[in-house]
Structure 1
C-alpha cells in the first residue's frame, strides 16, 4: 500500500473485534497498529466482561454443587468453606493470562500497540498520546460500555450501587443483591452471588426476562431461576435510589403506573444494557454521524460512508457479542486487503452462562411464524440419558424449521452445556441444513447433543425417547 502513511491499517480499540482485526491484517501482510487506552489488551470482554465473569460462574457452580447437596447425592460428602479472596484471585489470574496472551500475539504478528486514546484529526490520521499517527485505513472497534440508569448513580468504589465491573469485584457476599435488568449480564452475575449465599431479587421493566429470546426459553428460564431461589419483580421500573452507609434504598413503581414502594439492598447491580463507545473519537472531524441509537452505520463490507474508515463490533448495529466482533474483525481485515470478508449475521449464536446455560441461534418461533409457516420440534433434557445421569434434568432443545422446505430457521437450548451444543446448530444452519439432515446425523451416545437430534426428529414427528 501507499508509503505516505505510517500504517496500512490502524485499529482503534483492542477488544475481541479490534485485536482480531489487527492480527488478521498483519497476517495478510499489512503494516498494522492498534490503539488502546486500557493498560491491558482484550477490551471489556477479557478484562471486565466475558472472561472474569465465567471464572466466577465456574467457581460458584463448584461451591454450590458441594454445598447444595448435588455432590452428596452422588456419594461425595463435603462441607465447603468459601474463600472469596482466593476465588477472586483465580479470576484475576485468568484475566492476566489471557490479556498477556493477546500482547504476545501482537508481538508475534508484529502489530504495534499504540498506548493511548485515539482521536481523529482527519479520515487518515489520529492523535494518540500527543502524537499524530497516519493510516490508509482506520478501523473503529471501540466496543461498548454500561448504559446508565437515570436516578441510580453507580459508584463502584463504594460497592453499594455497582455496574457489571463492580459486581465482579465485591469483597464479600452481599446479604441482599438487587439486580436492575433481567437480561444476560444481570442474570449471570446475579446467579454467581446467589450460589455464594446472597438473596437475589431481579427487577425487570418488561413482563418477562431475557428480552429477544424465544418465548419458550424465557418462560422456562423464569421457572428454573425461581426454583433456584431468585425473586423476580417483573413489569416494574426503578425510579430512584439513595445510599446511606452500606445500604441502598430503591424506589420502585409498576411499569404501567401506580403506587411507589421502597426496596432495600446491600448491593444494587445496574444491568439494563450497553451503549456504543463513540465519545471522544472526534467523529465530527471526519463528518461521520451516528444513527438514532448512537451507533455507526456501515455497509456489508463494514465500510462507513467516509472512505478509508471502517467500523466493527459493538459500535455498529447488531448484537453486542464478542464472537460477532471477532468474525467482523477478520472480515474487515480481509476486505481491506482486497479479499472477500463476510459475516452471516443471521447465524450468530447467543449464550447465557447461567446454570443451566441458555443458548439460541437464528429466529425465535415468534419471528419465524411472522415470516411464514413453520414446524417445531422439542425434546426435554429430562429424557436425555446423559443429562439424567448427571443430575441435570432442566431444560429442552427446540428446533424451528420451515414448513415447506424443512430448512432449519432457529434452534433454542436450555441445558447445562447449551453454549457448547449450540455450535452444532449454528454450523448446520450455515450450511442450510434441514431438520432431517440433523435427525439423520449419527450422534455419539450418551451425550447431551443427542437432544438436538431428538428435537430434529420431533420436527418430523418421530422422536424416540419421549
Structure 2
C-alpha cells in the first residue's frame, strides 16, 4: 500500500454512489456545496446494478409474456418464443445505459468521483484505499450513504436477491421463501417466463382485500403457494426445503432456492466505533429527522439508518439532508412511502390498511371499485380494483390500495392525495380524462357514499361498508 503524502482538504464528502449517495451529491452541488463522492464499486449502487433495475427488467418481460393472449385477441397472429439469453443481454445493456447516465449527471454537476474503500481515521478525516494506493481526506461534513446488502449463503444453489437477478439461464424450478414485495415479484415473474415456482409464505401483510385477491392470482398463475414453518433447508445438488404445518411435514425441491431475508447495512467496515458514532445492534445508525448522527458534522441516510430499505426513502432522505447541509429550510416530515409490488398485475398499498385504521381507533368507511367496470381497463383486458379507506367522521382519506394495471403510475397520485391531507371531496371534484384508469380512482372514492356511477346500488352495498 502506498500512502499519500498529504491529507487533502474537501468540503462535503458522500460515501456511497447508490440512489441515496448520488442524489445527495447532485442536490448538494445544485445548492452550492463542493462535493466529493466516494464509491467502492459502480455508481448506481446495488439498486441500479444488481437489484431494482435488473428485477424490473425481468418483471417487464413477464408482463409482456402475459399480454400475449390479449395481443392475439386484438387480431395479431404470431407464435412467439422466448430466449432468456437475449433478456440477459437487454438487462445488462439497460444497466449500462442508466449507469452511464448517472456518471454523466455527476460530471455535469461538477461532482468529484473517487473510487475505493473508505473508512474513518478521525472524526474529520477519512482514508480511501484502492489497490496499493491509500489517500487521506479532511472534510467539513460527511454523509454516510453506503447502503445495504443481502445475506449471501455458502451454497451456490441458495440465492439472495442480487444473485437471483444475475442468473444467465432460466431455472426449470425455483423455490421461494418470503412474503415481501421481492418474493411476490420474483414468483410471478419467473413463473410467467416458464419456471415452475413454489412460494412458501403465510401472510403478505397487505390490506385484507389485496391479500385475498393475491392468493387467488397465485393459484390462477399456477404458482404453488405453501404455508407453514420452514424447519430445514438442505443444499446439495438441489435444494430441499422442509415445511411443517399443523404437524404435517412436506418437502419441496428445486435446483435453486431464493430466500428473501432482511438486508444488512454497510456500516461495519467504516470504522465508526473509533470516532464515536453510535451504531445500533442491527448495524443501523440512529439519526435525527435531518439525518444527523450523534456527531454534528456526520450524517447518514438510506439503508444504513432505521427504516424500510427502499430506494424511495433513500432518495427522499438524500434531498432532505443535502438541503439541510446547504443551509436550506428542509422539511423533516416523514412522507408516505408506498408499497409497490410489480406483480402481475401490479399492487400498490399506501397509508393505513383497513385493519390498521380500525386498530388505530378510527371510525372508518371503505369504498371499492372493480376495474372491470372501467373502460380503459376493459379495453386492455385488465383486472383488479381500487380500495379507499376514509375517516367516517372527518372524511379524511386514510389509505389507498390498488391491484391492477396502472397501479404504479397512479401510486404518485394516491401519495399526493394523502400528503395533502385530502378529503373525499378533494378527489371527487377534479375532472379526470375519459376513458382512463384515473376515473376508477374517482369512482372508488365516490363509492364510499354509494355514488359511483358505474356500479349498481347492490354492488356498492356489497363493496362498501362503514
Can you list the C-alpha shifts for 1:288-339, whole angstroms capped at 9, x where unaligned?
Answer: 2323443211111111111111111111122221121111101101101111
Which 5+ residue runs of structure 1 have no aligned equivalent? none
- Alignment of structure 1 residues 72-221 onto 2, 5 Å: 72-129=72-129, 130-147=134-151, 153-155=153-155, 158=156, 160-204=157-201, 207-209=202-204, 211=205, 213-221=206-214
Closer/same/farther in 2, CA of residues 138 and 108 from structure 1, 3 Å limit? same
- Alignment of structure 1 residues 22-33 onto 2, 5 Å: 22-33=25-36
- Segment drifting more, 448-457 vs 70-79: 70-79
- Alignment of structure 1 residues 325-364 onto 2, 5 Å: 325-364=314-353
- Segment drifting more, 189-198 vs 340-349: 340-349
Runs of 4+ in structure 1 deviating by more than 4 angstroms, as ranges, are none
Aligned length: 444
Question: What SS is found at the alignment partner of 1:92?
Answer: helix
Output the CA distance in 1 between the equivalents of 2:372 and 2:192.
23
Output the CA distance in 1 between the equivalents of 2:34 and 2:74.
57
| Deviation of 1:268 (Å) | 1.1
Residue 383 of structure 1 aligns with which residue? 373
Output the CA distance in 2 between the equivalents of 1:249 and 1:416.
35
| Deviation of 1:154 (Å) | 4.9
Residue 3 of structure 2 aligns with which residue? none
Query: What is the TM-score with the length of structure 2 in the denominator?
Result: 0.91
Residue 221 of structure 2 aligns with which residue? 228
Closer/same/farther in 2, CA of residues 293 and 378 from structure 1, 3 Å limit? farther
| Deviation of 1:282 (Å) | 1.1
> Is contact 1:176-1:265 (8 Å) kept?
yes
Residue 442 of structure 1 aligns with which residue? 431
Residue 253 of structure 1 aligns with which residue? 244
Closer/same/farther in 2, CA of residues 226 and 25 from structure 1, 3 Å limit? same
- Alignment of structure 1 residues 9-48 onto 2, 5 Å: 9-38=12-41, 40-48=42-50
Residue 310 of structure 1 aligns with which residue? 299
Which 5+ residue runs of structure 2 have no aligned equivalent? 1-6, 456-466
1:410 to 2:399 alignment = yes
| Deviation of 1:237 (Å) | 1.7
Query: What is the TM-score with the length of structure 1 in the denominator?
Result: 0.91
- Corresponding residue to 2:273 among 284, 294, 305: 284
Can you list the C-alpha shifts for 1:377-425, whole angstroms capped at 9, x where unaligned?
Answer: 11111111111111102x2111111222211111111111101111111
Closer/same/farther in 2, CA of residues 291 and 219 from structure 1, 3 Å limit? farther
Residue 458 of structure 2 aligns with which residue? none
Question: What SS is found at the alignment partner of 1:307?
Answer: coil
> Is contact 1:60-1:196 (8 Å) kept?
yes
CA RMSD, Structure 1 to Structure 2 (Å): 1.8
